[in-house]
Chain A
Amino acid sequence: MSGTRKSFPHWLRSNSEHYLLQDSQAEIAKARGLPAPRPPRTLKDRFWRQVFAPVYKKLPLPVRQKAIQALPGSHRKDWPEPNYEKRKPAI
């Protein structure tokens, strides 16, 4: 069973999310002496873990944010902005 066929942005998002999480888990596991996640096995695994993930992490945050913002989605529609201004007491 699957929901919908994958568009390019959907394919990009699901793969990048999956492999960036694996990369993050591997780093955390290594730092804490825990068992590592499954190592890359296929060509696809190797591309996303050994090429995409390191390149993504080297990009400056504003570039990564711009790339994420460029993907189609609800985040590009109108949503209320957070209001971080100092508030005064109720009375």
Chain B
Amino acid sequence: MTSALDSTDKLLGTGKRQVKIVVVGGGAAGLGAAGAAQGANPDAEVVVYTEFEDVAYSPCGIPFVHGKEIESFDTLFLATKEQYVESGIDVHYETTVTSIDPDTRTIQVEGEGQVRYDRLVIATGWLYADPGVPGADLDGLYRVKDIRRAMEWDKVLDTTKRAVIVESGFIAMEMTTALRHRDIEVTLVDPGPWPMSDVADPEIVEPVRQSWEDLNVDMQWGNKVTAFRGSGSLTHVETEKGEVVADLAIIGTHKVPNNPLAEAAGIKLGSTGGIVVDAHMRTSVDGIFAAGDCTEIPHGVSNVPLQGLSGSRAYSQGKTAGVNAGGGSREYRPVYVPWGMLAGEWMLGGVSFGETTAAALGIDFVTGIANGITRARYYPGVKPITVKLLADPTSRRLVGAQMVGGEGIKERADFLSMMTRTGITVDEIATMENVYSPAIGALNEPIAVAAQNLVAKL
């Protein structure tokens, strides 16, 4: 920490200069970092810069407001602007940080000039990958992310007749169902052979594909968008297999880290383009931490670094970075990536690898599958569930899991994630105990049955 004072420095009662912790980014990681930094060092001055009008809302909830499952965008906000003022976190809205100078420990801020920091947390998040085709600047292309834009787009959806979903990323999958709930004709164009084919195995995602078929979604697997066309506004989308008339396109391409600022400051990036961090979320530059989707985190099973994880991980990483920036000590862990989502009428989920991703990396595995039910067979509301486990044939430990069902996916994904992390063998899982109570659990737990089926193959 530098000891010289400048005109913007604040002094504590002891006459010592107040430590200044600056956070760039107001998403889950940025606000997690700001709150944790203040908790670790209540005397610190904590300042957050965001380009947007709002901070700390749940962008993952946007498709469900569009689909009318959630009544209002207001419910997606975690806290009001006044609450941040009251908690002592100084949030600068609609303010762009243009550069970082690690040598002088300053940042350049549009409208504010040079601003000093003692410790900096970069939480600049992610962007949708450029579809890389002509016409990507036309009106009518919607990238679901910013809540203010979502409020404007929601009014547009009232008059939208036909939409094209460009690739089946997580949010795009949810938007597919949401648009059908709004009675908008939907064409889904994806180069993969089945939905979410870079993540999910075909038999796991098949019920989702069927439910979209029931919702009259025009699914074009193995097809690719080649251009967006229109005069000012989108009128149709060109694909390798022909034209699709559309007044709206949802861009569902994969997440890429938003790192021009970090890269220009000389902070090391990894093979994913994410900022290289250690378990304390320290970057390659002293005094600078990073968290969330702009970073990459090693995978617990393969040690391959991963980027573009969900908000829950961004928030935890932000808290880790914030505690350490505040002078405390906290470690983050390699990730095992429990995931889950609602798609069509089904819940999908998993942990770590599926068969497609494990085979791509060249990992040896054996699978075990079980089809079960989520409650007693006679209890109202009982739903089917399929659990697929993958285990290493030598160590007999879990490599990953995938699931689809009517309910109970999230809890099983979290549970299997801890099983993978702690190295429990499939032999132990095959003999696990389970809750049996007609309203909430069946006699046979499908995880145990899948493990028994897997053990039988070893």
Contact = CB atoms under 8 A, between A and B. Distances in A.
A1 B331 CA distance: 33
A56 B357 contact: no
Contact of B271 (A10, A21, A56, A65): A10
Interface stretch (B34-42, B103-111, B252-260, B368-376): B252-260
Contacts of B357: 21, 24
Interface in B386-431: 397, 421-423
Contact of A32 (B202, B224, B257, B360): B202
A42 interface: no
Contacts of B279: 77-80
Given A2-B129, A72-B268, A17 B194 contact: no
A75 B360 contact: no
A79 B194 CA distance: 35
B331 A35 contact: no
A74 B297 CA distance: 6
Interface string B272-299: 1110111100000000000000011111
Contacts of B130: 1-2
Contact of A77 (B222, B272, B278): B278
A35 B209 CA distance: 14
B304 A68 contact: yes
B201 interface: yes
Contacts of A29: 193, 202
Interface string A55-91: 0110101001100110111111111101110000000
Contacts of A24: 356-357, 359-360
B331 to A, nearest CB: 6
B113 to A, nearest CB: 26
B191 interface: yes
B159 interface: no
Contact of A71 (B263, B268, B271, B331): B271
Contact of B423 (A25, A80, A84): A84
Interface string B202-234: 110000000000000000011010000000000
A40 interface: no
Contacts of A6: 273
Interface in B85-137: 126-130
A88 B455 CA distance: 25
Nearest to A9: B271
B300 interface: yes
B333 A80 contact: yes
Contacts of A77: 276-279
Contact of B197 (A37, A56, A73, A83): A37
Contacts of B277: 74, 77
A59 to B, nearest CB: 8
B45 interface: no
Contact of B305 (A12, A21, A35, A75): A75
Nearest to A53: B360
B193 A34 contact: yes
Interface in A1-32: 1-7, 9-10, 12-13, 17, 20-21, 23-25, 27-29, 32
A35 B221 contact: yes
A5 B87 CA distance: 38
B242 interface: no
Contacts of A28: 201-202, 355-356, 359
B205 to A, nearest CB: 11
Contacts of B328: none
B441 interface: no
A36 B296 contact: no
A44 interface: no
A82 B334 CA distance: 9
Given A29-B202, A68-B304, A77-B276, A3 B362 contact: no
A3 B126 contact: yes
Contacts of A10: 269-273
A4 B124 CA distance: 12
Instruction: Identify the interface centre among A21, A34, A56, A73: most chain B CB within 10 Å of its CB.
Output: A73
20 contacts: A1-B128, A2-B130, A4-B263, A21-B198, A21-B357, A24-B360, A25-B194, A32-B202, A36-B222, A37-B193, A37-B197, A65-B303, A69-B303, A71-B271, A72-B276, A73-B296, A73-B298, A75-B298, A77-B276, A80-B334
Given A35-B221, A65-B303, A82-B422, 4 more contacts: A2-B127, A25-B197, A35-B193, A37-B222
